[in-house]
Structure 1
Amino acid sequence: MRHEVMKESSEKEILKLLDEKPPFMVLFFSTPFCGKCVIAERNLESVLTQLPDFPIYKCVVDYAPKVVERLQVTSAPSLKFLVNGEVVHTSFGIRTTDDLYYNLSPYVKKNENPYEDFDWGIGE
């Protein structure tokens, strides 16, 4: 039996998080019975074992139509990086463990948001 690193979140939980606008979070989008989603999730879970307490949430698109619409999710598997409730980066498809670690680890190592001073042209 595999240890579950990333728990599936309900649509209600994710919408509440989006409304709270945390400083940083990542959403992993998948669908049931999707072979590519299973591979992407395994790669992601492999990396997450090295990044404890990482703010990532799994969203099954079939059960979260409001989240899908709100964040304009167009495919699964995909990852959306959010800063203060706004999407700043989207990654599609199966990512290698090296790529995932490279993209996720700066948030853990610095214990802060590396995009904080970057002008994404959103808000304000």
Structure 2
Amino acid sequence: MQDLTQQALLNRVNNLDDGAFAVFLYTPFCGTCKITERMLEIIMTMQPALPLVKSNINFLPQISREWQITSVPCIVILEAGKEKEMMYRMQSVDELYRRLLPLLKA
């Protein structure tokens, strides 16, 4: 999972025509974020082509404000022509897998 800076993430968002993707927003000292990252690593092992990146919310003041991120961990699914989908509750690998798998077809 590639770790993007704020500028790299904004560039990717501005080029949604290149395809839908998801971004995992975290902070390094968040225990729940570490658990979510482990679950996402399992999914990435099963689906290495999944368009998923991560970004440390501490370095995303503009995005955090614009997207109104209320807490971490947060997974934001971005698709051209659709409203951002925010996920704040990650219950299981299976649930995350089902929610992220459609990105492969987008």
The TM-score range, normalised by the shorter chain, is 0.7 to 0.9
Distance 1:95 1:9, change over 3 A: farther
Relative to its length, the structure with more helix (as a share) is: 2
Percent identity, aligned pairs only, is 29
TM-score, length-normalised on structure 2? 0.88
Matched, 1:92 2:54: no
Structure 1: gaps (5+ residues): 1-5, 114-124
**Equivalent residue, structure 1, for 2:14:** 19
Structure 1 residue ranges, 4+ long, deviating more than 3 angstroms after superposition: 85-88
> Is contact 2:21-2:103 (8 Å) kept?
no
Q: Greater relative contact order: 1 or 2 (C-alpha under 8 angstroms, separation 6 or more)? A: 2
Distance 1:28 1:87, change over 3 A: farther
> How many corresponding residue pairs?
105
**Equivalent residue, structure 2, for 1:36:** 32
State the SS of the aligned residue for 2:96. helix
Match of 1:103 among 82, 94, 99: 99
> Is contact 2:74-2:86 (8 Å) kept?
yes
State the SS of the aligned residue for 1:84. coil
